Chain A
Amino acid sequence: MNTTPLIQISHLEKSFITKSSWIGQWRLRRGKIRRSKESVHALNGVNLTINQGETLCIVGETGCGKSTLARVLMGLTPATSGEIHYQDQRIDHLNDHKRMMFRRRMQMVFQNPYASLNPRMTVYQTLSEPIAFHNQQLNRAEINLQIEDLLESVGISPSSADRYPHEFSGGQRQRISLARALSVEPDFIVADEPLSALDVSVQAQVLNLMMDKQEERNLTYLFITHDLAVVEHFATRVAVMYLGRVCELASTKALFSSPKHPYTQALLSAIPRLDSNMTQPIRLIGEVPTQIEKPIGCVFQARCPYANQRCYETSPKMLRQTDGSSVACHAIEEGRLS
């Protein structure tokens, strides 16, 4: 395996200003008019490396920053601070023009195939646009040939290329989305919950297709999901996110056999399984808090059954464990929780 990681994300932060209008930000406070910016901290210092050829899954509840991470990584929204490196080049501060060559190497598959395909473009148009844009030396016949191959490889008959997205089922649409991502021959694909709008049997079809393509083209996936059963099946490594931070990063096997972080433990115990002798889920008190205030201490403190004074004051660092996984938790560091 290549030793230099494909993608390196360091100290990535992203906050969104909630009061969007400039005028609305001014407030009278203690006799003076001051500007007050209220922002939601979606990412609070994320560090991740993605290796060539692996599938890194990101799991976490709604609002933990999974999708924001994907969007910042793809350059769809600028980061507030931090760095993203692609192989050895920094890409987060590039302008649109310079970024173009990286867009070709990194593609994205979105959650909802009903919304991510342009309803007024035929499948042919949807696929020919990126191919023609990134390969301007190709003539029409060559493009047509590529599209035919592409459609066939995702299991859609090339004869239906002139149809519109609404004429396809959800699973077929998600395959077209994947074909669109593959059309520019990327190395790296970010898939943001690509299966959540699909049925179980169709999910299996799309997941199989993604695995086949990975084998064929040596793709690297960043796969965002909340379905832990899919993660267990598909991932090489798993990053568990909570409130804009990665709280556990481990190989799939290590994570599922011995989850360490209290949040991971609760998350895994909550998966509805088919075995009748399943254990009672660990109950977390309360819900994911809002991220208006920048969190002090551990992000999970409010719901953690093991929280102590130190958890309220300082934020834990990612520490490497004996089995190769990394966990950010004071309780584990102090040996209160093993």
Chain B
Amino acid sequence: MNLLTVNNLNVSFHIKGIELAALIDVSFTLNRGERIAIVGESGAGKSILGLSIVNLLDKPGYIKSGSVKLENKELSKMNTRQLQEIRGKRIAMIFQDPMMTLNPVLTIGAQLVEAIRSHTRISFKDARNIAIEKLHSVQIASPERRFDQYPHELSGGMRQRVIIASVLLLNPDIIIADEPTTALDVTIQAEIIQLLLDVCHDNSMALILISHDLGVVSRVAERTLVMYAGRIVEEAPTLELINDPQHPYTQGLLNALPQMSLPGQRLNQIQGNMPALNDRPSGCAFHPRCPYATQKCRSEQPNFIYNGISSVSCFLVEDMLEEENSEEDSLDIEYATFHDEGQL
């Protein structure tokens, strides 16, 4: 059984009487201990997806339809009290900016202990021991001293470690990390990623990594979902996605990376910008930027098709697959008729 099942999730924003769709028919599953990544440009809906899993959407955003199931519990219909049981304990989140996540007027220790004691009935002393042990496990030197320090006394990398420690406190099944290394330097980023990998591996936690950095994603995730304008456009094992991207958007995203063109040459840019929520193009939302767009792409939304390795929502890929299949089918028919005659 899947640990997390998101099925046809639609999230909208209701602004001034107009409904703006932020997520459209998003479906995916996550198994226990699996690491997946969600990539896309800003405005693709990555963070909204992360937030709507634990139903942290603020007004005017709301879940319009669809379901988010943790094992067999439906999260999208839960009230706040029920959700509080899930948040932190079963599903924990790491946000982009560690300075914004930690409360600047409380010591690190106070925040960690509060997190433990709001979920379990234990004494302050026991909670303190757990907190220090977790701080130690994220390789923070002298955790006893750090316990009484304030967030501003720590560096960015150190703060992100504290946040990872706070996520570990209650041994959740799923960690949702929303751009956890964007605010950090490359050397620190490499350390934090390694730490996240170790932590997930040691505690067999599932990870949903939200990122725009395909380099980071390729190191962390086993499977990757690519989002564009509120929809998932491609889902594939990370290696396959990087070596053989199917959707034109994924191809464009990978080709735009500086390492994909020769030094000094022009980069392969994708023309245009991601559409805003209020002027989503008809049909496939990517068609105005797509070099292969046809009339069909302008009017109809392509379905998801599975080609054996990856799932892609693109007419181009669909047509290519159909061609292959029809060739195979015609062979099958010939073979079948031959067989029938033989029987006769």
Instruction: Choose among A201, A208, A271, A288 the residue that contacts B186 (Cβ–Cβ < 8 A).
Output: A271
Mark interface residues in A287-323 (1 if CB within 8 Å of B CB, else 0).
1100000000000000000000000000000000000
User: Which residues 190-237 in A have Cβ within 8 Å of B in the complex?
Assistant: 199-205, 207-208, 211-212, 226, 228-230, 232-234
In the complex, which of the residues A169, A212, A253, A270 contacts B187, with contact meaning CB atoms closer than 8 Å? A270
Q: Which residue of B lies closest to A271 (CB)?
A: B186
A234 and B264 CA atoms in complex are apart in Å by 6
Q: Chain A 166-197 against B: per-residue CB contact (8 Å), 1 yes, 0 no?
A: 00011110000000000000000000000000
Distance (whole angstroms) from the CB of A190 to the closest CB of chain B: 20
- Cβ of A97 within 8 Å of any chain B Cβ, yes or no, is no
> B86 interface residue, CB < 8 Å from A?
no
Are B155's CB and A287's CB within 8 A?
yes
Question: Do residues A204 and B268 form an inter-chain contact, with CB atoms below 8 A?
Answer: yes
Nearest A residue to B39, CB-CB: A200
CA gap between A199 and B212 in the complex, in Å: 8
Instruction: Assess whether B259 is in contact with A207, with CB atoms less than 8 Å apart.
Output: no
B215 contacts A271, CB within 8 Å?
yes
Query: Taking the nearest CB of chain A, how far is it from the CB of B155, in angstroms?
Result: 5
Q: Given the complex of chains A and B, what is the CA–CA distance between A229 and B214 in angstroms?
A: 12
Bound form: Cα–Cα A92–B308 in Å: 64
Whether B218 lies near A270 (C-beta < 8 A) is no
For residues 234 through 279 of chain B, which have their beta carbon under 8 Å from a beta carbon of chain A?
Answer: 239, 242, 252-254, 256-259, 261, 263-264, 266-270, 273-274
Nearest B residue to A61, CB-CB: B185
Q: Would you call A201 and B190 a contact (CB within 8 A)?
A: no
Contact present for A266 and B187 (CB under 8 Å): yes
Contact of B259 among A171, A208, A233 (CB under 8 A): A233
Say whether, besides A171-B273, A204-B268, A287-B157, A233 and B188 are in contact (CB < 8 Å).
Answer: no
Q: Which residues of A contact B266 (CB under 8 A)?
A: 208, 211-212
Q: Is the CB of A200 within 8 A of B218?
A: no
Write out the residue numbers on chain A whose beta carbons fall within 8 Å of the beta carbon of B259: 229, 232-233, 273-274
Among residues of A, the one whose C-beta sits closest to the C-beta of B216 is: A272
Give the CA-CA distance A85 to B186 in the complex, in Å.
33
State the CA gap A253–B264 with chains docked (Å).
Answer: 11
Given contacts A171-B273, A211-B266, A233-B258, contact A200 B186 (CB under 8 A): no
The answer, yes or no, to whether B41 is at the interface (CB within 8 Å) is: yes
The 14 sampled A-B contact pairs (Cβ below 8 Å) are A61-B188, A200-B256, A201-B256, A201-B269, A204-B269, A208-B269, A226-B186, A270-B190, A272-B190, A272-B218, A274-B218, A274-B259, A276-B218, A281-B190
Does any Cβ of B come within 8 Å of A70's Cβ? Answer: no
B61 within 8 Å of A by Cβ?
A: no
- A90 to chain B: which residues have CB within 8 Å? none
Q: What is the minimal beta-carbon distance from B143 to any residue of chain A, in angstroms? A: 16
Inter-chain contacts of A204 with B (CB < 8 A): 256, 258, 267-270
A200 and B211 CA atoms in complex are apart in Å by: 11
On chain A, the residues within 8 Å of B258 by CB distance are 204, 207, 229-230, 232-234
Q: Is the CB of A200 within 8 A of B273?
A: no
Bitwise interface map of B from 167 to 208 toward A, beta carbon under 8 Å scored 1, else 0: 000000000000000000111111101100000000000000
B242 lies within 8 A of A274 (CB): yes
Count residues of chain A with CB under 8 A from any CB of chain B: 41
A200-B41 CB under 8 A given contacts A226-B185, A270-B189, A281-B190: yes
The reply to whether the CB of A99 lies closer than 8 angstroms to some CB of chain B is no
Q: Are B189 and A62 in contact (CB under 8 A)?
A: no
Query: Chain B nearest CB: distance from A173 CB in Å?
Result: 12
Report how far A223 CA is from B257 CA in the complex, Å. 18
- Decide if B187 touches A61 in the complex (CB within 8 Å): yes
Residue of B nearest to A233 (CB): B258
Specify which of A62, A170, A171, A253 is in contact with B156 (CB 8 Å cutoff).
A62
Q: Which residues of B contact A (CB under 8 A)?
A: 41-42, 155-158, 185-191, 193-194, 212-216, 218-219, 239, 242, 252-254, 256-259, 261, 263-264, 266-270, 273-274
Across the interface, which residues of B come within 8 angstroms of A278, CB to CB?
A: 219
**Other A-B pairs beyond A234-B263, A267-B187, 10, CB < 8 Å:** A61-B185, A201-B256, A201-B270, A232-B258, A233-B261, A234-B264, A271-B186, A272-B213, A273-B215, A274-B254
Residues of B within 8 A of A284 (CB): 187
Which chain A residue lies CB-closest to B276?
A: A169
- Chain B residues whose CB sits within 8 angstroms of the CB of A171 once the complex forms: 273
**Which of A211, A232, A287 has the largest count of B CB atoms less than 10 A from its CB?**
A287
Residue of A nearest to B186 (CB): A270
A208 and B216 form a contact (CB under 8 A): no
Chain B residues with Cβ below 8 Å from A207 are 258, 267
A288 to chain B, nearest CB (A): 8
Q: Which of B214, B215, B258 has the most chain A CB atoms closer than 10 A to its own CB? A: B258
The residue that B253 contacts in the complex, of A61, A200, A233, A269, with Cβ under 8 A, is A200
A169 to B213, CA, bound (A): 20
Are A169 and B273 interface neighbours, CB within 8 A?
A: yes
Complex Cα gap A233–B268 (Å): 12
Q: Which residues of A contact B242 (CB under 8 A)?
A: 274
Chain A stretch 251-282: residues in CB contact (< 8 A) with chain B: 252-253, 266-267, 269-274, 276, 278, 281
A134, CB-defined interface residue at 8 Å: no
User: A202 and B186: CB pair below 8 A?
Assistant: no
Q: Does A283 contact B (CB under 8 A)?
A: yes
